[in-house]
Structure 1
Amino acid sequence: MAVINRIAEFHEEIKGWRRDIHAHPETAFEEVRTADFVAEKLAEFGIEVHRGLATTGVVGVLDGRSNTSGRAIGLRADMDALHIQELNGFDHRSRHDGKMHACGHDGHTAMLLGAAKYLSETRNFDGRVAFIFQPAEENEGGGRVMVEEGLFEQFPVEAVYGLHNMPGMPVGTVSLRSGPAMAAFDIFEITITGKGTHAAMPQLGIDPVVTGAQIVTSLQTIASRRTAPLDSVVVSVTQFHAGDTWNVIPETAVIRGTVRSFKKATQDQMERDIDRMARAICESQGASMTLRYERRYPALVNSEAETAIAGAVAAKVVGDDKVVMGAEPLMGSEDFAYMLEAKPGCYVWLGNGTEGGPGGCAVHNPHYDFNDEISVVGASYWATLVEQTLPKST
């Protein structure tokens, strides 16, 4: 593995940044302390700092020792945490009840800061790099907001790159793929209205719980029987809310969930099928319903040329044998997709460790922790990407 020696020298500093951010998690559009921390570090490195996009976003701009090419690329890290109660016992565990860095955004931020520190010292490139620290990746679309508020008008770049840690992959490995790499993320909410009654006299009411149970079961046939076998889709019911007490059949029930897919045509079909199926079941039971269907994130699609660049850079850092090109797409979602709709680029996965070892715990788990061992790898990838993509003129 050919990590950058200078970055390895301040590995402990990167680890300290990461653990400080982990101990002070902030959720979507509330990353005030985190944004202050990032802005202060960038300024300390001598990097031009811009703030205000998407409320708490931070962008650092750095020119190389020369900028004769007029070229520029963007590097993006997410900063937000999740609404999860942390169950770890180490010293840097969350100090904020109900909030936790359970996806590694603390590590993503620290690695990009590490690359920024190194590049500010060396500036061994010809052109400009924009360090994009994005808020609100989890559910709230901070990437979309940054793009809509003029990210790439204010900071023009030819391409933009992202990175995410991946538990289950060995440390020192990188995987990526050209084309669709992560699924679109839609949400749905079905509100069923029946007729409330005493639980001992169900014949006097219309039971939204029984109706809802039929809907939950039937929705699982959309993927298995309504969708082409090669057209990947996942329909997951994640919430079912109804009733307040033991002996009352309630008036209403609410079902919520997500749909993951790769094609816009599939999204259209899912919305139609969920509405049709739920409505037919409600009508058969004498109930009524409403459907709220929202398209949160589009599919994340890596461009071919930038994927080849990212793969070659990763190979320089971790070795050819540690890079998986053409990795299987994931049904998870990422709002970096909005940046890739605006600009070509590539999103890669960096091994966080395997099961049973540091970094092997799955993301969005109350026991998760980012593996500090990979910080030097990720920061070296970012720095090498800049130096290889924007080589100095000779």
Structure 2
Amino acid sequence: MGILPVIEQYKGELEAIFKDLHAHPEIGFTETRTAAVVAERLRAYGVDEVHEGIGKTGVVALIKGKGGGNRRVGLRADMDALPIHEESGLDYASQTPGVMHACGHDAHTTMLLGAARHLAETREFDGTAVLIFQPAEEGLGGARGMLADGLFERFPCDEVYGLHNWPSGQPRKFGIVKGAAMAGSSFFDIHIKGKGSHGAMPHESRDPLIIASSLVGDIQTIVSRNVRALDACVVSVTQIHAGSAYNVVPDTASLAGTIRYFKDEVCELAERRMKELCDGFALAYGVEIELKLRNVFNVLENDAELSDAYMEAAGDIVGAENVVERDEPVTGSEDFADMLRVVPGAYCTLGHAGTVAVHNPKFVIDTGILPVGASIMARVLERRLPLAG
């Protein structure tokens, strides 16, 4: 089958939309321009309903198929950018200093717009397409914001699908993991309040730097000496902040980082041990240590049956030889997981010619992926809502 005809016809327009979105990136919950572009395009395509301001800056559109059935299938794309200064050298690079689409959400948004145009023009399905344009995926809780705003109460879905570009250098390669596919994640902040002193008289201090340095090492034992070898978990200290002068032992120090996991009970264990370590260090050194933990991403769980359906739909577009069921999940996180906790569905990766990793200032997405991703999203909906006869 290949790329769907409507999408093939308008692929030049899709590339223009993508380049415009890429040049005007917006951080999570500030995607007002992006949301306005999305809403304007959807109305121009003739969708049945457009709802704005869902979860602050999210957009939801409805398209009714020819069949008039009651089943509903959701398709979701994220819209936000990252606080990264772009170094791609593209002629359509970000015009906003310090903000960049370094994860390809501009492409995901464009793909869903391409699917919307096809579905609105053809309507060869029985039921309703629910198109979800989500803000703030990058750790700011955009999915949870839309859910709290009544996403699936206002726009019920029987199942929901999403995708992410994959800069693998393998264009059109579709990959999916059944079950736990992406890690959950908690972020932590540790603030140590010690006692400062002159750098020449450290015996008068309760040095928070010594405590912070020891904590960094002991936090690594949470996984190596507490988590079962067969249960994957990654605890990373990614920030340490303290001091402002060469000759002063500071009063305070701060640490921050993440816990990545595939089982909720493993996360609970890691969080409990971190709290116990902080409490123990506070007692041992006679200082105050405050630990703040916040769960940011749930484990992303792909429904096995719907993963099969997604692979079959992708095979129609890219060929069965380019569809791969993967064995190993990834330790990265994705807040589409929150939607999948409410509605069953599946999330895939789609390879493209780029090879620079996401979240890199030199990241470049291959625009050839746009009609492919748009076609896969439209096709899975058509397959899941088939017309009778």
- Shorter-chain TM band: over 0.9
Matched, 1:374 2:375: no
Corresponding residue SS for 2:188: strand
Corresponding residue SS for 1:328: coil
Residue in structure 1 matched with residue 57 of structure 2 by the alignment = 56
User: How far, CA to CA, are the matches of 1:305 and 1:343 in structure 2?
Assistant: 14
CA shift digits 1:133-160 (9 cap, x unpaired): 0000011111111112111111111001
User: How far, CA to CA, are the matches of 2:294 and 2:61 in structure 1?
Assistant: 33
Residue in structure 1 matched with residue 284 of structure 2 by the alignment = 284
Deviation at 1:283, TM superposition (A): 3.2
User: How far, CA to CA, are the matches of 1:368 and 1:203 in structure 2?
Assistant: 49
CA shift digits 1:169-216 (9 cap, x unpaired): 511101112111111110111111111001111111111011101111
Residue in structure 2 matched with residue 301 of structure 1 by the alignment = 301
Residue in structure 2 matched with residue 337 of structure 1 by the alignment = 337
Residue in structure 2 matched with residue 74 of structure 1 by the alignment = 74
- Structure 1 counterpart of 2:230, one-letter code: L
2:24–2:95 Cα contact (<8 Å) kept: yes
Q: 1:386 aligns with which of 361, 368, 381?
A: 381
Residue in structure 2 matched with residue 234 of structure 1 by the alignment = 234
Q: Report 1:120-269 matches (<5 A).
A: 120-168=120-168, 170-269=170-269
User: How far, CA to CA, are the matches of 1:165 and 1:226 in structure 2?
Assistant: 35
Normalising by structure 1, what TM-score?
0.96
CA shift digits 1:219-278 (9 cap, x unpaired): 112122211111010111111111111111100101000100011111111111111223
Corresponding residue SS for 1:101: coil
Deviation at 1:6, TM superposition (A): 3.0
Corresponding residue SS for 1:82: coil
Residue in structure 2 matched with residue 365 of structure 1 by the alignment = 360
1:175–1:327 Cα contact (<8 Å) kept: no
Structure 1: 5+ residue stretches without partners:
354-358
Corresponding residue SS for 2:46: coil
User: How far, CA to CA, are the matches of 1:235 and 1:389 in structure 2?
Assistant: 39
Residue in structure 2 matched with residue 356 of structure 1 by the alignment = none
2:76–2:162 Cα contact (<8 Å) kept: yes
RMSD: 1.2
Normalising by structure 2, what TM-score?
0.97
2:56–2:145 Cα contact (<8 Å) kept: no
Q: Are the structure 2 counterparts of residues 221 and 192 from structure 1 closer, same or farther at C-alpha, using a change threshold of 3 Å?
A: same
Corresponding residue SS for 2:54: coil
Deviation at 1:352, TM superposition (A): 2.5
User: How far, CA to CA, are the matches of 1:200 and 1:263 in structure 2?
Assistant: 48
2:193–2:251 Cα contact (<8 Å) kept: yes
User: How far, CA to CA, are the matches of 1:45 and 1:88 in structure 2?
Assistant: 32
- Structure 1 counterpart of 2:362, one-letter code: H
- Structure 1 counterpart of 2:376, one-letter code: Y
Q: Report 1:112-127 matches (<5 A).
A: 112-127=112-127
1:187–1:296 Cα contact (<8 Å) kept: yes
Structure 2: 5+ residue stretches without partners:
none
Percentage of matched positions with identical amino acids? 45
1:49–1:60 Cα contact (<8 Å) kept: yes
User: How far, CA to CA, are the matches of 2:126 and 2:268 in structure 1?
Assistant: 45
Matched, 1:87 2:87: yes
Matched, 1:25 2:25: yes
1:64–1:123 Cα contact (<8 Å) kept: yes
